[in-house]
Structure 1
């Protein structure tokens, strides 16, 4: 019987193995495919292998970038500030071009609750992590899209389960998700076709002025479908429904096909289907879906006006003056009266249960508007321009006034060895810790940069400058943009 478990020679390169296979003398009398070494260890062949390895250099698989080899901690054990700034700026450096987007969205969130979600590669398991991040996604989704609506569907035991109906109330969705997390466990196989068909039934009749989207969190590598899923894909395309998938395992061919065909993309990278590499990446992919998608030519129909109501707020003066809301049928101290039929609801935005009018506040419309004209990215400030400021314009935190030795050495071509290479090469990280608005040219810290771009979506420096009208014939100037008043005499 042939001997197949040969000894491993760790100091031989690929060139030496090929040379040994072609040289009968190198195999000690065996054939060209012999695997067991007949000579003693540490012989001339090992020395020749070491020389060959030095001549050829490192193999491709040996050149690995190990993150733990970088210096990410300071002497007191805290993380390096430059590394933290690089992570914050990476989230902000995105395209800020003003593009047409659908700000009124209708999205169905599909969660995989099959046996695959019981895996513990994400602790405590995929199911707990997915549900908790789904709760964060619901909060952020309605924070960024207050006049949009959403529904939740689960794939479990070969069928699709409706977790929550389509609505604009985030509290209802969060309550249903927490109930699923406490009372249900991952079970059975997922059925992607059943989930997509249920999503299609909830989206196809919605008006054309809003987007129709499906976001799937998929943890399995298979799908148990009762019919032909290609027919379902064709129906999704006909109803102009877009599907995006966030995977928790390896890529699945049918998921790539669904996302590519429904989003009309031929990009090999396929940004609509991404597999998460960890918990942080998984959360980032989910929150990325809070930005409205770009409007497509196939989605644009006949322009029409959308009627909305801006109701007035009423607060009960005493406990005996509580009003029953029409949306939940429960007593509420604060209600909003519909501007058309005077039906009272307990929270906004909402759809009037009486007449179907969309009820919102002016602040909801303003928050949705920033997606169309996003705040421009702030630029890095070099040490040459950093002398103009000593503190952040927004929070008044003091800046560093002395360039570190690493910055001086980097200017001379010699980088400090204590600075992680990943941080030095990171795009968008300011060497002085200052970031300037390209419009007002005020300097801000990294925390104010993140807060301005992700929360308020406005520049504090631009908003604080008074916008004065041009001087008239009498030499008087009127701040019309600030006070809203104008002298017409």
Structure 2
């Protein structure tokens, strides 16, 4: 039997809490405030009241550790899988009605390269995490918007610095933000200079394309040479949509830019939330109605036809020739159908005649935003279903068996792992449901 611990004062105790409590009470008796005793019951009541009334900001967050429960075997795997399924389904429950969107997008990505990005509240640093997520964002953005173009602007030392020219080739954009030694953070950011530079690079764009600015802002200050509200007024006039992802806290001027230009604003709570805020901006936003009271133009003008050209692809065995975009000798490439100029990649604008050159697959892949797949409905019970399928219609994976007393899950999550298409009435598993809506954009059962 191990020896018991004996308190030096003479009392046996398993903890030192009683010692400090006695010392605390004796210290209060010898304090300066004689005759001013503290009623400990009132103090405990105050603590209880504070616990019953949480802070206002706590009401908007859900404590997942309180909702996780063990299963009959004492495992948390089922609860974790349920949380992951809820996160997947949350993106698919958005309204799928056909709305007017701009499929030809032009985006300027403004990166904060100030000294505030070297903070380590996000691992490894804000700067390294921003570059990592920016590369993933650019890859996914071009996959979902093949007709769009992206330019990169950095802000450091109180200036706006052009990191990469606006281009429709994702490899050029990734190369511009992959050279870490050229993007070392320093100095203070200048939000006004960066937005002015981005706005000037989009002044020549046609009216049928969207003009968007995405700012990743990690500082709490901005060093501007003039009145930044004038820049805000110019962005509203030029119909430029500004969205901000803040890494530190909310700033009033950033909120005003987003509210008045129709963009979105968000403050990243952690690394995962930071990535979610970025990837929410990948689908093209709904086109807003701009009313012009002075000119008398309608709020929603009629859609104008666009002139596009489908190029002729040259194989690797063709004769080498100078390309119009880089002035380099290349064998493979594409020929402009209007002027016959040679370009390296599509989609792009011909440098000779200005024709937009696209390929048929790029154009077809851009239309899935205009006609999205309807969300699959979660199957809560198999009662009343004749001959239910045993496996998924897409991957043939077996479904869960329905247990007695299985309750319907919230947030659109099926307790059976079944999601049914409203057109063909085929059942799909959770993974195929997400894959169909995010990648295929077409139901395998009915083709809609």
TM-score range, shorter chain: 0.7 to 0.9
- Which residue of structure 2 lines up, in the alignment, with residue 183 of structure 1? 182
Q: CA deviation at 1:457?
A: 0.7
> What is the alpha-carbon distance in structure 2 between the residues aligned to residue 161 and residue 212 of structure 1?
19
> What is the alpha-carbon distance in structure 2 between the residues aligned to residue 367 and residue 383 of structure 1?
36
Deviations, residues 207-242 of structure 1 (Å, cap 9, x unaligned) = 111111111111111110001111111111111111
- Which residue of structure 2 lines up, in the alignment, with residue 274 of structure 1? 266
- Map 1:51-90; keep pairs closer than 5 Å: 52=45, 58-61=51-54, 66-69=63-66, 70-71=68-69, 78=77, 80-90=80-90
> What is the alpha-carbon distance in structure 1 between the residues aligned to residue 314 and residue 74 of structure 2?
57
- Which residue of structure 1 lines up, in the alignment, with residue 240 of structure 2? 241
Would the aligned equivalents of 1:72 and 1:83 in 2 still touch at CA under 8 Å?
Answer: no
| Structure 1 counterpart SS, 2:396 | coil
TM-score by length of 1: 0.76
Q: CA deviation at 1:58?
A: 4.7
- Map 1:14-413; keep pairs closer than 5 Å: 38=37, 45-46=39-40, 52=45, 58-61=51-54, 66-69=63-66, 70-71=68-69, 78=77, 80-179=80-179, 181-263=180-262, 272-298=264-290, 300-301=300-301, 303-317=303-317, 321-384=319-382, 388-400=388-400, 402-404=401-403, 408=405, 410=407
> What is the alpha-carbon distance in structure 2 between the residues aligned to residue 294 and residue 127 of structure 1?
31
> What is the alpha-carbon distance in structure 2 between the residues aligned to residue 72 and residue 36 of structure 1?
53
Would the aligned equivalents of 1:106 and 1:212 in 2 still touch at CA under 8 Å?
Answer: yes
The alpha-carbon distance between structure 1 residues 196 and 93, as it changes in their structure 2 partners (threshold 3 A), is: same
Would the aligned equivalents of 2:377 and 2:419 in 1 still touch at CA under 8 Å?
Answer: yes
Query: Mean Cα displacement is larger for which, 301-310 or 110-119?
Result: 301-310
| Structure 1 counterpart SS, 2:424 | coil
- Alpha carbon RMSD of aligned pairs, Å? 3.1
- Which residue of structure 2 lines up, in the alignment, with residue 417 of structure 1? none
| Structure 2 counterpart SS, 1:216 | strand
Q: CA deviation at 1:35?
A: 10
> What is the alpha-carbon distance in structure 1 between the residues aligned to residue 371 and residue 203 of structure 2?
29
- Asked if 1:439 is matched to 2:436, the reply is no
Q: CA deviation at 1:382?
A: 2.2
Q: CA deviation at 1:272?
A: 1.2
- Asked if 1:452 is matched to 2:445, the reply is no
The alpha-carbon distance between structure 1 residues 316 and 253, as it changes in their structure 2 partners (threshold 3 A), is: same
Deviations, residues 45-80 of structure 1 (Å, cap 9, x unaligned) = 446766x58996952239996433424798677563
Deviations, residues 271-324 of structure 1 (Å, cap 9, x unaligned) = 711111111111111111111122122285565332111112221238xx4444
Would the aligned equivalents of 1:135 and 1:174 in 2 still touch at CA under 8 Å?
Answer: yes
Would the aligned equivalents of 2:317 and 2:332 in 1 still touch at CA under 8 Å?
Answer: no
> What is the alpha-carbon distance in structure 1 between the residues aligned to residue 359 and residue 280 of structure 2?
25
Unaligned regions of 5+ residues in structure 2, if any? Answer: 1-20, 22-27, 291-298
Q: CA deviation at 1:436?
A: 0.5
Deviations, residues 128-185 of structure 1 (Å, cap 9, x unaligned) = 1111111111111111111111211110110000011111111101000001x23331
TM-score by length of 2: 0.82
Q: CA deviation at 1:205?
A: 2.2
Would the aligned equivalents of 1:336 and 1:344 in 2 still touch at CA under 8 Å?
Answer: yes
The alpha-carbon distance between structure 1 residues 383 and 409, as it changes in their structure 2 partners (threshold 3 A), is: closer
Would the aligned equivalents of 2:89 and 2:413 in 1 still touch at CA under 8 Å?
Answer: yes
The alpha-carbon distance between structure 1 residues 208 and 66, as it changes in their structure 2 partners (threshold 3 A), is: closer
Query: Mean Cα displacement is larger for which, 453-462 or 326-335?
Result: 326-335
The alpha-carbon distance between structure 1 residues 35 and 272, as it changes in their structure 2 partners (threshold 3 A), is: farther
Unaligned regions of 5+ residues in structure 1, if any? Answer: 1-10, 12-26, 40-44, 264-270, 412-423, 465-489
> What is the alpha-carbon distance in structure 2 between the residues aligned to residue 209 and residue 35 of structure 1?
79
Query: Mean Cα displacement is larger for which, 292-301 or 351-360?
Result: 292-301
Deviations, residues 444-472 of structure 1 (Å, cap 9, x unaligned) = 011111111011111011129xxxxxxxx
Deviations, residues 228-260 of structure 1 (Å, cap 9, x unaligned) = 111111111111111111111110011111211
The alpha-carbon distance between structure 1 residues 72 and 88, as it changes in their structure 2 partners (threshold 3 A), is: farther
